[in-house]
Structure 1
Amino acid sequence: MSPEREHTEAAATSEAWPLDDRGIGYGDGLFETVLVRDGKPQLWEAHLARLTWGCRVLGIPLPQRDMLERPLSQAGRGLAVLKLILSRGSGGRGYAPPAAPTPRLRWQLLPFAPAPARWASGVRVRLCRLQLGIQPALAGFKHLNRLENVLARGEWTDADIAEGVLCDSEGRLIEATCMNLFWQRNGHLETPRLDRCGVAGTLRAELLERLPMSEVDAVPDVMASAEAVWIGNSLQGVWPVARLDGAEGEVLNCWPIGAEHRRLQAVAHALLGYPAWLDD
């Protein structure tokens, strides 16, 4: 049995939420989803940095580090995913937040298995009809209001489609519904600029530090004409894109998965403890 399959204990969760919690009522809070390997959180400093950023923007006190790390004591061997949810807590009147918030931290720890077939063979993705609203004040970090992503993910039911690609309301490429976007154009690595909307993933942040990659404004035609395309996050790793469909199902481009795809994948997967790819 592989280490990834050894984590078989039941899911662990913290206590339930009260109905007057502002995270439930208004999405007034933040979350992080963290890959845990043998009890050790992967890219942990990057997750803490993003959570700290979100707390600063929203004005929510950041819990002590030991509180955030306490759930890790319940992680067993193999892979798990830790979801941390931090709300402003209860209180305030209507939308007005309390003057002195008492944050509420909740968490869930679940066994996790990635999708190695998608590492090896690549995936099919589609453009979404939904466009993300532009709100620079909320761009980058993981706030609790993800209804745009929910609506976008509801656009397809075809199991052969792994992800949907989102643009903002001005037509610029931003992200996939739960992953970041990367492509190679004219030999250069690029990823969408995320200063207007979207989530700045922790794996994306690490790749930007390690590789000669540029943040750019781009439209879908750029991705369709790229030499290689990837989607990735800190849980699943990097999936090469083998086929891009339009919102109506038309094929916009296909890519044979080759050495160019493997170079980015190898750097990303080394950060997460995953193989660069698996043989058929």
Structure 2
Amino acid sequence: MPSWVDGHPAESLSIKDRGLAYGDGLFETIAVRAGRPPLLEYHLARLAEGCRRLGIALDLALMRTELLAFSAGLGEGVAKLMITRGEGLRGYAPPPVALPRRILQSSAFPAYPEANAEQGVRLFPCATRLAEQPLLAGLKHLNRLEQVLARAEWQGGEFAEGLMRDQSGRVIEAVFSNLFLVRDGGLVTPDLSRCGVAGVMRAALLGSARAQGIEVDVRDVSYGELLQADEVFLCNSLFGIWPVRSVTEQNWPVGPLTRKLQAIARDLLDI
């Protein structure tokens, strides 16, 4: 599978890169189908916001051109885009003149079981808690040790995902996907202004739900409220939507609103 660095085929990276040394950068995991990335505008919007907050002067027009060319060559699969601040000397201080680095890697689609989407998944209750840092909240930055530690908490196929909470016990997300609750016919999804990753599929579903007249509430969610939900589902830009059928002692049905949004997610991803 191909990989590019700064727009050219490459298989290596400078050991002086600040992404390697400090996680100084961002990334996007992009589904590619029939030579195009169906959620491109959402990915670019999140990338632009991340670069603004981190002070990385990325040429977004060039990035769009490269992503389209890389996707056309890939055809079908997953494009992982990493943006780093570029090379620098030892120490935390950014270089006076930073040249952002653009890294594109490709892989096949993950072989998720079809039962995840049809029958739903079990959530593992992760002990690892997310630290609150509003400056980084919502961004898909390169520092993902919390998710690495959380994913290491379970093995085998009994659980497809893990539930993550913050230091105060609020429900935030899953390890590699976002979480929604259905209550009284409306949608609730956790507020991500303190921590968590604002996924592109989450953003697309919020827009689609509002367009369909579905009530949407983005706010703090307690663990107790999660257990009282009518339906629960997960979403991300690779698998679309997975219904959640259980976490610890609580079970949920695969409900009608989850199925409706699942169809919308498939359309968004051109599945």
Common fold by TM > 0.5:
yes
Which residue matches 1:66?
Answer: 65
Which residue matches 1:269?
Answer: 266
Cα offset, 1:178, TM superposition: 0.3
Specify which of 231, 235, 238 is matched with residue 235 of structure 1.
Answer: 238
CA offset digits 1:10-66 (Å, max 9, x no partner): x11232111111000000011001000010102100000001111111111113222
Residue ranges of structure 2 left out of the alignment (5+ in a row): 5-9, 210-214
Superposition pairs of residues 101-180 of structure 1, within 5 angstroms = 101-113=98-110, 115=112, 116-180=114-178
For the aligned residue pairs, the C-alpha RMSD in angstroms reads 1.4
Distance 2:67 2:25 in 1: 15
Residue ranges of structure 1 left out of the alignment (5+ in a row): 1-10, 246-250, 275-280
Cα offset, 1:223, TM superposition: 1.0
Which residue matches 2:206?
Answer: 208
Query: Are the counterparts in 1 of residues 171 and 222 from structure 2 also a CA contact under 8 Å?
Result: yes
- Range with greater deviation from structure 2 (88-97 or 161-170): 88-97
The reply on whether 1:12 has 2:2 as its aligned counterpart is: yes
The reply on whether 1:37 has 2:33 as its aligned counterpart is: yes
Which residue matches 2:78?
Answer: 81
Distance 2:111 2:190 in 1: 25
Query: Are the counterparts in 2 of residues 132 and 197 from structure 1 also a CA contact under 8 Å?
Result: yes
Cα offset, 1:187, TM superposition: 2.5
The reply on whether 1:226 has 2:229 as its aligned counterpart is: yes
> What TM-score, normalized to structure 1?
0.88
Distance 1:193 1:271 in 2: 23
| Structure 1 residue runs of 4 or more that deviate by more than 4 Å after TM superposition | none
Distance 2:51 2:89 in 1: 18
Query: Are the counterparts in 1 of residues 132 and 194 from structure 2 also a CA contact under 8 Å?
Result: yes
Superposition pairs of residues 248-263 of structure 1, within 5 angstroms = 251=249, 253-263=250-260
